Amino acid sequence: MSETAWILSAGFAALVVCGVPFAFAIAGAVIVVLTVSNIAPALLPQTMIAGTQSFSLLGIPFFMLAGELMTAGGLSRRLVGVADVFVRHLPGGLGLVAILAAVIFAAISGSAPATTAAIGAIMIPAMVDRGYSRAYAASLCVSAAVMAPLIPPSIAFIIWGVIAEQSIAKLFLSGVLPGLALATGLGMYVILKGLRDDGQRLPRASGREVLAALRSGVWALLAPVIILGGIYSGIFTPTEASAVACIYSLFVGFLIERRLTVKQLPVLVINAMKITAVVMAVVIVSNGFGVLVAQEQLAARLATALHGAIEQQWLVLLVLNFAFFLLAAVMDEIAIMVILGPMLIAIANQIGVDPIHFGAIIVTNVGIGMAAPPIGYCLFIGMAISKLGMGEISRAIWPQLIIMVLVLMLVTYVPAFSLALLK
């Protein structure tokens, strides 16, 4: 390998091992390459900034803000109330409430961290009050949030669509069935655990309670209908849908729920900006990294080497999933997509995998990474809400991680499963 290739790979790895944050590690490796190479210093910054000038990426801050507005405006609480009346009487009832509420909220916010915060803040205290283990409650809310990258609208699919130059609407559709499969798998786990741990059921809701919950939650339930219906009917694009989600959240929060106030808005906007800034910082420095990787043709070389060493498609996909799982446990998921995107796309082309199907595989991996110890974003949010340590939540979440991996295998080896809605 060339000097540049060594710096990009070994230098970046060394910085990460030393505990340097990923965005700074990437930036450091890029700066060193610029210092020792003949690349024009002005070229890389221009390319890095240009990589963020995508209309599709505008969906990220808007969906982040929509999640904040919905939580503050009371929509998340309404969703929990609707879910509660339908499943609370089943074994593990409140666990099922958390899963169902997460499905609906994920279809509004598109963000796993936002879903964890919104559902966890309500369900973790409620489950603890009902006798559930705090670690189990926190792990379940973290696991349920993993559906957010899969169930449209999805911020992860937006980022991958930009990287891979694929239809974001088609990518959204490819995540629906995997997301529902994950919800089903987690639901079965909760029911089996509920049957084993007796005494966690609540009385079945009466017809009057169901109607009351639906009446009070109608505005919350309309949100995913408007957002997803608008996207797939062609009324607005996925990016425009994120702005619609914000407008709808403001309307409901101010005029219907009347829980939002003008004084709250600056705080909510700043919270969304903080999360967006972290995401975009990683995207910017990763773009620079990606430019240098492309210049050195590392992606093409690695793709050719892997395909030459392993000819069977199923085995290549298995190796990629295993590597991605290990990386997602210790590295930022967005950085993985942006940095390794060219290599992953080249490999997919080499082995003849449908690009939309491959996007579903990648985003499923990304979702798992958000819940995987030791650095999954959603884990840290669950820790903050539950006031538990990483070890306690990590021990409780392993059964859910196994379910996630099984869904990943289904997505990987049954292409029709993720592509069924595109027919």
pLDDT in tens, 126-138: 888 878 889 999 9
Query: In this structure, are 37 and 86 located in the same domain?
Result: no
The residue among 25, 41, 57 that closes a domain is: 41
Q: Could you tell me which residue, 255 or 58, shows the higher pLDDT?
A: 255
**Mean per-residue pLDDT, 245-254:** 87
Count of domains for the chain: 2
Query: In this structure, are 209 and 355 located in the same domain?
Result: yes
Q: Could you tell me which residue, 23 or 73, shows the higher pLDDT?
A: 73
Query: In this structure, are 292 and 240 located in the same domain?
Result: yes
State the pLDDT at residue 260.
Answer: 85
Which range (27-31, 55-59, 96-100) has the least confidence? 55-59
Query: In this structure, are 4 and 71 located in the same domain?
Result: no
Query: In this structure, are 19 and 100 located in the same domain?
Result: no
Whole domain around residue 18: which residue ranges? 1-41
Query: In this structure, are 17 and 65 located in the same domain?
Result: no
Query: In this structure, are 267 and 157 located in the same domain?
Result: yes
pLDDT in tens, 79-134: 778 888 887 777 878 888 889 888 888 888 777 887 888 788 888 888 888 788 89
State the pLDDT at residue 139.
Answer: 92
Query: In this structure, are 7 and 96 located in the same domain?
Result: no
Query: In this structure, are 109 and 216 located in the same domain?
Result: yes
State the pLDDT at residue 185.
Answer: 94
Query: In this structure, are 28 and 112 located in the same domain?
Result: no
pLDDT in tens, 221-246: 888 888 888 877 878 777 788 888 88
Query: In this structure, are 127 and 7 located in the same domain?
Result: no
Query: In this structure, are 169 and 28 located in the same domain?
Result: no
SS (HEC) of the chain: CCHHHHHHHHHHHHHHHCCCCHHHHHHHHHHHHHHHCCCCCCHHHHHHHHCCCCHHHHHHHHHHHHHHHHHHCCHHHHHHHHHHHHHCCCCCHHHHHHHHHHHHHHHHHCCHHHHHHHHHHHHHHHHHHCCCCHHHHHHHHHHHHCCCCCCCCCHHHHHHHHHHCCCHHHHHHHHHHHHHHHHHHHHHHHHHHHHHCCCCCCCCCCHHHHHHHHHHHHHHHHHHHHHHHHHHCCCCCHHHHHHHHHHHHHHHHHHHCCCCCHHHHHHHHHHHHHHHHHHHHHHHHHHHHHHHHHHCCHHHHHHHHHHHHCCCHHHHHHHHHHHHHHHHHHCCHHHHHHHHHHHHHHHHHHHCCCHHHHHHHHHHHHHHHHHCCCCCHHHHHHHHHHCCCHHHHHHHHHHHHHHHHHHHHHHHHCHHHHHHHHC
